[in-house]
Amino acid sequence: MPRRRRCGQAPAPRAGTAHRPPAVPLCLVARTYQVRTYGCQMNVHDSERLSGLLEAAGYERAEGDGVADLVVLNTCAVRENADNKLYGNLGHLAPAKAANPGMQIAVGGCLAQKDKGEIVRRAPWVDVVFGTHNLGSLPVLLERARHNAEAQVEILDALETFPSTLPSRRESPYSGWVSISVGCNNTCTFCIVPALRGKERDRRPGDVLAEVEALVEQGVVEVTLLGQNVNAYGAEFGDRGAFAKLLRACGGVDGLERVRFTSPHPRDFTDDVIAAMAETPNAMPSLHMPLQSGSDDVLRRMRRSYRQERYLRIVEDVRAAIPDAAITTDIIVGFPGETEADFQATLDVVRAARFSSAFTFQYSKRPGTPAAEMEGQLPKQVVQERYERLVELQEQVSWDEAKRLVGRRVEVLVAEGEGRKDGETRRLSGRGRDGRLVHFAPGATAPRPGDLVEVGVTYAAPHHLVADEAPTGVRRTRGGDAWEAAQARPPAQRRAVSLGLPAVGAPEPLPADAPACAAS
């Protein structure tokens, strides 16, 4: 009885031809891939899953310059220029696709979920369009597009497989994302994410902890718990205290040095979470909590279910329990109907909250959101002027907060690629417990990425700290061991970490004399 092949596998030879050598022997090479990521941390984590899926299916990550055999664009739909960015990038890829007919282009993420078949209509050279709910379908869709010689568009309205059950190619051997939920139950009038990511779906605590423990076993020393609204975690299975319990449980994972989370919603921020942060030694004293606006009227129109007083009380309570906590936020300037008085209320919160940094945005009109149809859309010049005032104030607040650390000793998790000028300054870089970027002199024996060091801060800037003296208390960790082991392997051998999903099967290899698509 002939064997059935899984989609994505090369066909078996026909009867009577299995042992017949080809007329001209061909050297087969694996297809290369590149994933380009736009948007939030959830997209970054999804891209790790997409990379893991592709490697489990036999692709190899592209290295060097040029365009890979497969380019995947993992898109974001939050900003107004997201569409322009996508179609501009697809336009740049069109000549490469024309020159290399075997090349494939896939588009996924939030913009794919929103635009669906419109992408193929506007860019007919795209091979696959997939949405936020069916990441795991990508290898099969690619093979189907090859076999049928036509574009494949598959957008599901509900989550097919929780992304964390998929294989992953982790970008860092010592630090990792762990998704605890996907989707969002909020209805903020400016946000299109719930329509594209769906209602909140929570993983079971045991599954989350199993992934954390597996990562630590592989050498990860820092984990960031990830969700659209992490502190609403547990709503799906009826436990409002689930997030605080999860934080405390992570504190019991031997070898896990640091736990972070992003992003919580002020509406769901409870005292038990603050207590868990304060009482769990490896829970970091850092909190990213979006404000969006300091005006109660604007918050009401945004459909944000808290007000200025509630937000500032949370900040107060966090600082009372964790005096060294660094609090960061998101702020939108120029929401429809925002008055100068509304904007001044936002500046008042910035002064009172003393954020260590803020991600500041000019309101971006997104079709499909209630805010896009609101009256009072503000002129660009008004929004720009307010935005510049906000940035100027926040820069000063950030600098003042950073200068409080000069002369103090801080623990730094050494990182790779954090400091863009490290090659020129001969410094190393990493993140303090509070999340601040720290550049430091390496000393006689440079620690490895993933190791922990203690340094004395000698200079502060709004967005980083500097330690000019060599570190003391260098502690080699399993994270550093994992980083060192990864450097010893060729890039092609740094394979995905499978978390139990069966492999789809390798794509048919390309002949060595096929048109070259340089790795990227």
pLDDT single digits (tens) 116-143: 888 899 999 999 998 887 888 888 899 9
Across 219-244, average pLDDT: 91
User: Residue 342 to residues 94, 119, 365, 371, 398: CA-CA distances in angstroms?
Assistant: 46, 39, 19, 17, 22
Residues facing residue 73 across a β-bridge: 36, 107
Parallel/antiparallel/unpaired status of strands 222-226 and 258-262: parallel
Q: Which of 48-62, 314-328, 502-516 has the highest mean pLDDT?
A: 314-328
DSSP state of 444: S
φ, ψ (nearest 5 deg) of residue 259: -125, 130
Nearest residue to 504 (alpha-carbon basis) of 29, 154, 72, 56: 56
Q: How confident is the model at residue 332 (pLDDT cuts 50, 70, 90)?
A: very high
Average per-residue pLDDT in the chain? 84
User: Residue 38 to residues 44, 73, 363, 426: CA-CA distances in angstroms?
Assistant: 8, 8, 18, 30
Residue 213: which H helix or E strand, with range? Answer: helix 205-217
Residue 101: which H helix or E strand, with range? Answer: none
Parallel/antiparallel/unpaired status of strands 357-362 and 326-333: parallel
Across 249-259, average pLDDT: 96
pLDDT for 154 equals 86
SS (H, E, C) 366-377: CCCCHHHHCCCC
Structure token digits, residue 32: 């290369």
| % of the chain beyond a pLDDT of 90 | 53
pLDDT single digits (tens) 51-91: 888 888 888 888 877 778 999 998 887 666 667 788 888 99
Across 17-29, average pLDDT: 37
On the question of pLDDT at 259 being above 60, the answer is yes
On the question of pLDDT at 319 being above 50, the answer is yes
pLDDT single digits (tens) 436-454: 999 999 888 889 999 999 9
Cβ atoms of 475 and 451 within 8 Å: the answer is yes
Nearest residue to 107 (alpha-carbon basis) of 127, 81, 133, 77: 127
On the question of pLDDT at 8 being above 50, the answer is no
Cis ω on the peptide bond leading into residue 263 (within 30° of 0)?
Answer: yes
Q: Lowest-confidence range among 16-30, 218-232, 282-296, 349-363? A: 16-30
